[in-house]
Structure 1
C-alpha cells in the first residue's frame, strides 16, 4: 500500500507532482492547515505531512496522528512544529535549510548596501517631491571590513559575495577551522576582535542559548564607532533596545534588520529611527527560493517514506539512500541486540555502552545507536522507534556511550551492547553474515552462533549432561517445534546457555515445567520483530 501524504499549506504544483511521480498517494489541500479542527480530524489518515508556516503542528495534533512518520517543513524555521512532542511520538521532523541559502545571503548583502547608502530614506524623500541630495551622504563598501558572525552555509555565501565587492572579510565561528578559513579567504578571529575592527557586522547563526543577544549592550560598546549592523538570521541575536540606544547616540551609524525578537513585529525599538532599514522577514522570499524548498521537501519526504533515507532531519541522524541500503541489516541487528537486553533487564538502566568493531565502525554510528536504544526501550514502550528512543533515554537519565575500533576478531564486523544497572552488567554481541542475516555471536561472554527468530527461548544452567534432551523432550511433548537450537558454555562444568528459535510462542505452562525441573537458573521467552 502506497504511503499517504497530506500537503496542508501552499506548495507548488511541481512539488505535488514529485510525490505522485514517486508513487506517493498525495492529498493536496493548501488551505487545510489554517483549520486546526479539520486538521485534527483527518491527520490520523496520513504517513506524511508537508507544510510551510501556516500549519501549526501542536502536541494535540500529534497525539491524533497515529500513522504519521514524517513532517516536512518547506523552509528553515520549524517554530510551528512541536518538535519535542514529535520526537516522543516517533515522528521525524525535516526542514530544507539549503533551498533558500542564496536568497537569504543576497538579502543580507542587499540590506548592507541599503543601509550604507540610506536608500529607503532617500527613496521616501524623493517620492515626497524633495531633492535632499546633501542629506543622504553614504559610505562605500570597497575596502571596508565586514565582520561575519557565523561562517556556515549562508555566512559562507555572504563572505564570497563580499569578496566580489572588494571588502576585507573576517569571521567569527567556533566551528570554523583554519584550513576552511584559508580556503574561504577570510581572517578567522575571536568575537572581541571582530567587534573592535569591523565596519559592518552581519549575523548568520541560529538562535541558541549561546547566541541569544550575542550583540548585547556590552558587546555593542566594544564595536568601532560608526559600525553598521545587519541581521537577516534570527530575531533575538541582537538586544534591540541596546542597539536603539546606540543608534540614537550615534555610536552605531546604521542597522538593517529582517528579523525581530517578536514576530510578526508590529512594534520594535528600532522602528522609525533614522538610517534603520527594516523588512518583514523576507530573507527567503523569492520565487526561486520558494520553489526550491517545495521541491526539496517533496524529494526528502518521498525518499524517507520509500527508502528509509533521512535528510535534513532535526530529531534524527541523517542517513543517505546508499547508507540505508548498506546499513539495513546492521540496523536490524542493532535493534535485535537492544531487544534481547531490554527483555532480559527488569531493573532500571543506568548506562548503555555500544562497541562497533571492524567494517561497521565506519558506518553511521549515530543512527545505529538510535536502533540499539529503540530495541532496548520496546519492552516498556512498544511504540518506541529510532526517533523517540533517544528522547526517552535522556528523560530517564540513561547515559549512552559509543566506542569504535578496527577489526579485532574473526568477524569482519560486529556490534556489542552492554547495559549497566545498579545490580549488574549484561552484554550481547552480534554480526551480519554474508547472506545479510543478523546473528547473535556472544552472550555474557559465551560464544554462540544463533539465528534470530520471532519466537525464542533463552535458558541458563550449570553445564551438566542431559540438558539438550530435557529441552527437546519438553518442547516435543507440548507441541512446540524447534527451528534452531544453539548452545554455548564458558568452560567444562561452568555456566552454559541455550538459545532456541521456535515456530510459535511458548505456552506459560511449558515455561513452568522447565523451571520446575530445577535444572535451569533462568528460563526466559523472547520475541523479536524480524519483518
Structure 2
C-alpha cells in the first residue's frame, strides 16, 4: 500500500480521499526540517501547502518518494530541479483556488477605487469625512492584465461584467484566445501607458521578477491603481512606495510580498496603500477544493499511474495510462537498446511514431524512450528525471508524428545521432500489447527484448550459427531464443540471442574472436 505524509495543515477530506483510494496516510503538520528529514524516507508521497520547504537535502533523505503534491498554485517552496533530478513528480492544483483568488483581486480593485479601508478606519474613529474620500468608478475604465492564464481570464470575465475594457500582456496568449475572452492583446509598454488599473496574474520566474520595476512604474499612466494577488517579487516594493508618494500611482493593493510573512515593509503606512496577508486562496471553498484535488491527483498517480497537473513531466490521465502502457514499455526497451549499444556517443535522438501510435499522447512515449536511453548514465533514472538528464547532457531531442500508414498498424522508431552518423531501431506491438523489435540499424529482425541477451554483428557465412551455438554451449550458456536478420545473402548479418544467464566478459571475448564477427555486446532488459 502506498504511503503519504501530509506535512501541512489541510482539510480533513484529503486524508479521507487517500484512504478511500487505498493509500495509507499520516497527518503530521508543523514538522521542523530535521523532523521531516528523519521520517520522509518512509513515504511514497508528500502532500504540502506553503509551509513545508522541500529542499535538496530533504529530497536526498526521501529515498522512496515518488510524488509531491502542492495543495495550491505556487510551488516556490519546492526545489523542482532537485525533485526532477531525483525522479520525483511535482504536482500542484492550479484550479482549486482560481475563483477565490480572482475574486480577491476584484475585491481589492473595489477597495482601491473607493478607498474603502481608509474610509472604514476614519468612520470607526468617529470622524465623518464624507468629502475626503472621493473615489472613481470602474465602469469604462481600462483594466490591464499582466498574465491572462487561468486566474487572469476569470478576472477579465468579471471585469467585462463591470463594463470595463480589458487589455492583456501575456506572451503565451494567442490571438484566438484573446478574441474568445473578449480582450485585447497588447505589449507591456502599451498596457502600462493605457491602463487605469493593473492587476498581476503571472508566476514568479526570472523573466517576471520585478516586471513592475522602477523603470516600468514610471511608464504607467499617471493615477493608475495596481493590484497584486499573484506572487511577491513581481513588483519593486521600494519603487512602488516612491511612486505612491509622488502621485504617479494613485493606489496599490498587495496580497503578496517579496518576503513573507511580511511583518514589515517599506509600503506599510504609505497613503493609498492597502495590504492583506496572502488571502487570495483563503476561503472555505478554496481550502476544501485544493485539499480534495491534491489527494485525488496523488492517489491516481500512486495507484493507477495517472499524472495530472504535473510541473516536471507530461500529464497522463488514468484512462490514457492503460492504453499507453504497452507503447511506453516498447519505447523504453528501444531506448535501452540504443543506449546500451551506442551509449555516451549519442548527441541527439529522434522519436517517431506512426499508425496507431500517432493517435496517442506522444510525450509519455518520448519520456519512456529517454528513460531507457539515460540508464547509460544513471541507474536511478525514470520518466521524470530522464528529460532533465538529457537536457543536462546537451542531447538534442526531437519528436516526429507521421499520419501515414506503414507495413505495421503501429510503429515507434528511435534514431540516435553519433559522430559516425545516424542509427535507428524500430518496434511494434503484437496483439496490441506485446512489444517486439522489427528493425535494427536497417536490418529486418524480429525479437522480443527480454532479460539477458547477446547482440552480434557478423559476415553472413555458412556454419556461423553452428559455431556460435557450440561456443555458447561450451561456456555453459543456454540459449532461449535465436533471432536473425541480414541485409542480403553474404552481407552483414545481425543476431539477437536470448540466454538464461548473465554473459561474462570472457564469453564476449571468445565470441568476438570467431571468424567473421564484427561486434559482440551483452544486453540486459
* Range into which the TM-score falls when normalised by the shorter chain: over 0.9
- Displacement of 1:72 in angstroms is 0.8
| C-alpha contact 2:326 2:434 (8 A) present in aligned 1 | yes
- More moved, 513-522 vs 486-495: 513-522
Tell me, yes or no, if structure 1 residue 3 matches structure 2 residue 2.
Answer: yes
Shift in Å at residue 234 of structure 1?
1.3
Partner of residue 116, structure 1: 113
Q: CA deviation at 1:462?
A: 0.6
Asked if the contact 2:102–2:155 (Cα under 8 Å) also holds between the matched residues in 1, the reply is yes
Question: SS where residue 508 of structure 2 aligns?
Answer: helix
Pick aligned residue for 2:214 from 194, 217, 220: 217
**1:477 CA drift (Å):** 4.0
Unaligned runs of 5+ in 1: none
2:319 is paired with a residue whose SS is helix
What SS is found at the alignment partner of 2:462?
coil
For residue 240 of structure 1, the aligned residue among 234, 237, 240 is: 237
Paired residue for 1:333?
A: 330
Q: 1:496 aligns with which of 469, 493, 507?
A: 493
1 CA distance for matches of 2:454 and 2:42? Answer: 38
My pick for the range that moved more, 403-412 or 113-122, is 403-412
Residue number in structure 2 paired with 1:23: 22
Aligned to 2:287: 290
Shift of 1:377: 1.4
The 8 Å contact of residues 338 and 376 in structure 1, kept in 2 or not, is answered as yes
The 5 A counterparts of 1:107-256 are 107-256=104-253
The aligned residue for residue 434 of structure 1 is 431
TM-score by length of 2: 0.96
Give the whole-Å Cα distance in 2 for the aligned partners of 1:324 and 1:378: 23
- Distance of 2:521 and 2:478 partners within structure 1: 17
Shift in Å at residue 249 of structure 1? 1.4
Per mean C-alpha deviation after superposition, the further-off stretch among 102-111 and 500-509 is 500-509
The one of 458, 462, 467 aligned to 1:465: 462
Structure 1 contact 350–397 (Cα < 8 Å) conserved: yes
Corresponding residue pairs, total: 525
The answer on 1:311 being equivalent to 2:308 is yes
Deviates more, 1:253-262 or 1:474-483: 474-483
- Is 485-494 or 104-113 further displaced after alignment? 485-494
Deviations 1:178-234 (A, max 9, x none): 222222121222222222222111111112222222222332233222111111111
User: In structure 2, what is the Cα distance between the partners aligned to 1:57 and 1:401?
Assistant: 32
Please say if 1:519 is aligned against 2:516. yes
Q: Is the 8 A contact 1:453 1:502 kept in 2?
A: no
Structure 2 gaps, min length 5: none
Counterpart in the other structure of 2:376 = 379
* Deviation (angstroms), 1:313: 1.0
| Cα separation, 1, equivalents of 2:491 and 2:107 | 77
Distance 1:153 1:30 in 2: 29
Give the Cα–Cα distance (whole angstroms) in 2 for the partners of residues 191 and 41 of structure 1.
47
Aligned partners of 1:487 and 1:498 also within 8 Å:
yes
Q: Which residue number corresponds to residue 99 of structure 1?
A: 96
After superposition, the CA RMSD in angstroms is 1.7
1:393 aligns with 2:390: yes
Question: How far did 1:446 drift?
Answer: 0.7
Q: CA deviation at 1:105?
A: 0.2
Per-residue deviation, residues 362-410 of structure 1 (Å, max 9, x unmatched): 3222222221111111133111111111112222222212222123520
User: CA 1:142 to 1:422, structure 2 compared with 1: closer, same or farther past 3 Å?
Assistant: same
